[in-house]
Amino acid sequence: MHRSRLSAVLAAFVALVVVASGCGVTRDSDDPSNRRLRMMIPNSAGGGYDLTGRAAVRALEDNDLTGRFEVTNVTGASGTVAMQRLLNEEGADDLVMTMGLGVVGAVYTNRSDATPTKMTPIARLIEEQEGILVPADSPFDTIDDLVAAWQDDPESVVVGGGSSPGGPDHLFPHQLAAEVGIDPTDVNYIVYDGGGPLTAALLGEKIDVGMSGLGEFAGQIENGDLRVLAVSGEERLEGIDAPTLTEAGVDLVFTNWRGVLAPPGISDEQIDYLIELFTEMHETDEWQEALADNGWIDSFATGDEFAAFLEEQDRRVADTLKELGLS
Amino acid sequence: MDLLLEGFQQALTPTNLLFACLGVILGTAVGVLPGIGPAMALALLLPVTYSVGPDSAIIMFAGVYYGGMYGGSTTSILLNTPGESSSVVTALEGNKMAKRGRAAQALATAAIGSFIAGTIGTVLLWVLTPRVSDLVVKLGAPSYFALMLLSFIAVTTVLGSSRLRGFIALFLGLAIGLVGTQTGQARLTFGDAKLADGIDVVVVAVAIFAVGEALWVAAHLRRKPLEIIPVGQPWMGKQDWKRSWKPWLRGTAYGFPFGALPAGGAEMPTFLSYVTEKRLTNHPEEFGKGAIEGVAGPEAANNASAAGTMLPLLTLGLPTTATAAIMLSALTSYGIQPGPLLMENESDLVWALLASLLIANTLLLVINLPLAPLWAKLLRIPRPQLYAGILFFACLGAYTVNFQAFDLALLLLFGVLGFAMRRFGIPVLPLIVGVILGPKMEGQLTEALAISGGDVSTLWSEPVAVVVYSVIGLLLTAVAVNGLRRPAPAAPVTTEEKELVER
């Protein structure tokens, strides 16, 4: 009995692995629901890229815009491993990868040559604002208080964020510092392993200020345990009583974005096909629902607009990290 | 109390009971398969949240979590292949017990210990959740560093009879733990991005335990008469109960608080529990050869820590483990906002979850206890086939950690190291401790020093840290005094060497 039980579990598992790793691509006709595609996710299941990528795939599959979409999580070095694999699959016409600002930074901090500008840009999907968070009894009441104290003695202000060097929470305080005239190398940035540990550090007043996307902090903000001094986007965030940086007199707009790339060296028809596909995806109800559920800001852009944006981001990230001696 | 009863009412509907059952079975399966942890299983299950109600989903997820914590012990004991880093310590004594024909007892003490620890933990949750304030966030990096140093020193004092071999293992472990770019600098990565995140503990543990042993057995297969593993008794005897109940309680006492701390985790309490049992046991001669205390304590500790994890999750919306983080994102996808207001806004759901934790725990015991003797028969498979199976599981486990063939190469490399360690009688525990605690300690130390701007006095700036340092001082004094009183053993003879001599 035990053996049959074990072998059943095994058989099921082997089947799963085979399905997950198989890459048989069959295209019998032009019917889009027969077309099979693969999507790479550069971090583990449950992470930001994973949620975005899988939401997009669900919207595509449920509306029969494509056949089965095979999603694989290629983890490692904050996305560098996945970018390297995308570069290696040059010319593959059935592959896309979800990525974002953090991956751009990781490629530089890991000194990899698989930079985003070498890939084929398809679409930018969403963006998220960064927020500047302080504990309830922080001496900083406004962003001006923070900037003043920071300019006074940069190293005395301890900044925490949920991403490793090169990630959005790391780039944001450094670009903010540069904007208000502080040498970015003087920023005392502490890396936390995501929103949970960062919340703990803020609530326990171990750090002075936290910079992060606000999704994971909604409970504490509503409760009054944490206060938001400012948000980083062009417009105020719904439900958050805080000015944008530009309203507060700091000339900086910073957003964490996510989008889709394809490997280099694919044909123009293939590029058009993929752009068309994600444009249709963007129109679906499922996608609009996913945006609302996750609090993502729609920032859909394709083709040349996304390409230009990607190039600008790439340069900005490279400059920031070079200044910090991290690339 | 009314709230709790209502919670039970909600959790005991047939549908929810079914989901709890499903979760527990799935969790056990996931725990048994090395490499796939409850976190990954929950992430893959997240889409269910689109089609079932929040109470059912959360109840199932709780079942998967508890089940995973329990299931990890099964392969540790039977196959010497720890499925999760929190069940590595279980393999030390558990597998030795299995080889002496006491697999059923080891599995039973793990199951009952997990049940008791989980139950006590859940009751503590009922009592503490509505009351506890933000106490857990008061501990900062200095306190964590002190706690980790304590575990580290506690384990090093029991390095085994040969200090030199113990330290060799410890430093090997620390060196493996250095790999990666966690500190911002690439160390020992050889410029390969695949090594940038460091080497996963599961890959190292599975390699050293399972692959190392398979190689060892293969090397001796022809020279050694086939050793039949005795069948043994199917159930725990009176003596087993007597030796198990104290470790269960002590393990729980270690596990729960560590689970509740944001940077506590499930590994440290298992180490501390193992060391404590080794010190307190009346059967010191059995440690290293299959002492039941060494299974009972750590297994209770890791389940109690799973219960502890729920405390910051429910009171503050703070996920302290990867699994808890995914449970949070499941809540969010229902539009439920986790955080300090969860208890107020969604008290029905919270109490249903708390009730279902106890139900999941009971189900686990009911399902797994009768299976223990059946599982134990697995060891009667002839050696060549058995070890082929173990190797298969080991590879599967290493591969599923990141779905990268590269990890298989690492598995083989460390497997050879494991073989060499057996050959030269180098103990395994210090190496695993180095791999797990080394990077964590370094992380807390850098965090503490970065916040203070390099001021070392920050390390004793928190009361908890001061208390822990005093405990470390006492421990070291005790060791020194003992060392002076008791003459050192004449010749350091390790178990492996004894085995060699006996052969």
- A120-135 and A158-161 beta bridge pairing: unpaired
**B164's tokens:** 């030199």
Cβ <8 Å between B451 and A190: yes
Amino acid at B483: G
Using DSSP's 3-state secondary structure scheme, residue B490 falls into coil
Helices first, then strands: H and E counts in chain B: 22, 0
∠ CA B362-B365-B371, rounded to 5°:
150
Residue found by looking up tokens 């579990």 in the block:
A9
Structural contact between residues A75 and A81, judged by C-beta atoms closer than 8 angstroms: yes
CA atoms of A85 and B200, how far apart (whole Å):
21
Nearest partner of B44 among A46, A79, A42, judged by Cα? A46
The pLDDT value recorded for residue A158 is 93
- The alpha-carbon gap from B132 to the nearest alpha carbon of chain A, in Å, equals 14
- Contacting residues for B202 by C-beta, under 8 A, at least 6 apart: B34, B35, B82, B83, B84, B85, B397, B398, B401
**For the segment A233-269, what is each residue's pLDDT rounded down to a tens digit?**
888 888 888 999 999 989 999 999 999 999 998 888 8
Domain range for B189 is: 2-502
At A308, the pLDDT band (50, 70, 90 cuts) reads: very high
pLDDT at A3 over 90: no
Element holding B280 (H helix, E strand): helix B267-280
Element holding A278 (H helix, E strand): helix A268-283
- Contacting residues for A15 by C-beta, under 8 A, at least 6 apart: none
Phi, psi (5° rounding) for residue A135? -65, 160
Q: Which of B194, B320, B371 lies nearest to residue A196, judging by beta carbons?
A: B320
**For the segment A80-136, what is each residue's pLDDT rounded down to a tens digit?**
888 888 888 888 888 899 999 989 988 888 888 888 888 999 999 999 889 999 999
Structural contact between residues A213 and A129, judged by C-beta atoms closer than 8 angstroms: yes
The pLDDT value recorded for residue B490 is 43
> What's the average model confidence in pLDDT over B312-317?
80
pLDDT at B499 over 50: no
**For the segment B44-94, what is each residue's pLDDT rounded down to a tens digit?**
787 776 678 888 888 888 888 888 878 788 888 888 888 777 888 898 899
Cβ <8 Å between A223 and B396: no
Cβ <8 Å between A200 and B32: no
List the 111-140 stretch of A: residues with Cβ below 8 A of B: 111-112
Interface test with B, best of A38, A199, A214, A324 (most B CBs within 10 A): A199
Structural contact between residues B391 and B211, judged by C-beta atoms closer than 8 angstroms: yes
Cβ <8 Å between A206 and B197: no
Structural contact between residues A129 and A246, judged by C-beta atoms closer than 8 angstroms: no
Other Cβ atoms within 10 Å of A31 Cβ, number: 10
> Which residues in chain B touch residue A78, judged by CB atoms under 8 angstroms apart?
196
Rounded alpha-carbon distances, angstroms, from residue B414 to A153, A259, B155, B427, B434: 48, 38, 22, 15, 15
> What's the average model confidence in pLDDT over B29-43?
77
- Adjacent-strand bridge partners of A39: A71, A96
List the 431-460 stretch of B: residues with Cβ below 8 A of A: 447, 450-451, 453
CA atoms of B147 and B139, how far apart (whole Å):
11
Taking the alpha carbons at both ends of chain B, their separation in whole angstroms is: 62
Q: Which of B137, B141, B371 lies nearest to residue A203, judging by beta carbons?
A: B137
Interface test with A, best of B61, B310, B318, B345 (most A CBs within 10 A): B318
Other Cβ atoms within 10 Å of A145 Cβ, number: 14
The pLDDT value recorded for residue B116 is 92
ipTM exceeds 0.85:
no
Cβ <8 Å between B340 and A6: no
Rounded alpha-carbon distances, angstroms, from residue B452 to A157, A184, A196, B49, B456: 10, 18, 22, 43, 8
Q: What structural domains does chain A harbor? A: 31-127+255-323 (3.40.190.150), 129-231 (3.40.190.10)
Across A25-39, A80-94, A101-115, B424-438, least confident range: A25-39
Rounded alpha-carbon distances, angstroms, from residue B216 to B209, B257, B387: 11, 39, 11
Structural contact between residues A251 and A199, judged by C-beta atoms closer than 8 angstroms: no
Nearest partner of A151 among A110, A183, A182, judged by Cα? A182
Nearest partner of A102 among A126, A73, A78, A81, judged by Cα? A78
> Which residues in chain A touch residue B138, judged by CB atoms under 8 angstroms apart?
204
> What's the average model confidence in pLDDT over B448-457?
88
**For the segment B229-283, what is each residue's pLDDT rounded down to a tens digit?**
665 666 788 888 899 999 999 999 999 988 888 777 788 899 999 989 988 888 8
Phi, psi (5° rounding) for residue B496? -65, -40
Overall number of domains in chain B: 1
- The alpha-carbon gap from B232 to the nearest alpha carbon of chain A, in Å, equals 18
- Contacting residues for A103 by C-beta, under 8 A, at least 6 apart: A42, A49, A78, A79, A80, A82, A83, A116
The pLDDT value recorded for residue A163 is 85
Confidence (pTM): 0.78
pLDDT at B185 over 80: no
> Which residues in chain A touch residue B318, judged by CB atoms under 8 angstroms apart?
196, 199-200
Cβ <8 Å between A190 and B450: yes
Across A7-11, A291-295, B494-498, least confident range: B494-498
pLDDT at B157 over 80: no
pLDDT at B332 over 80: no
CA atoms of A290 and B182, how far apart (whole Å):
33
Mean pLDDT of chain A: 84
- Adjacent-strand bridge partners of A302: A123
The pLDDT value recorded for residue B491 is 44
**For the segment B412-423, what is each residue's pLDDT rounded down to a tens digit?**
999 999 999 988
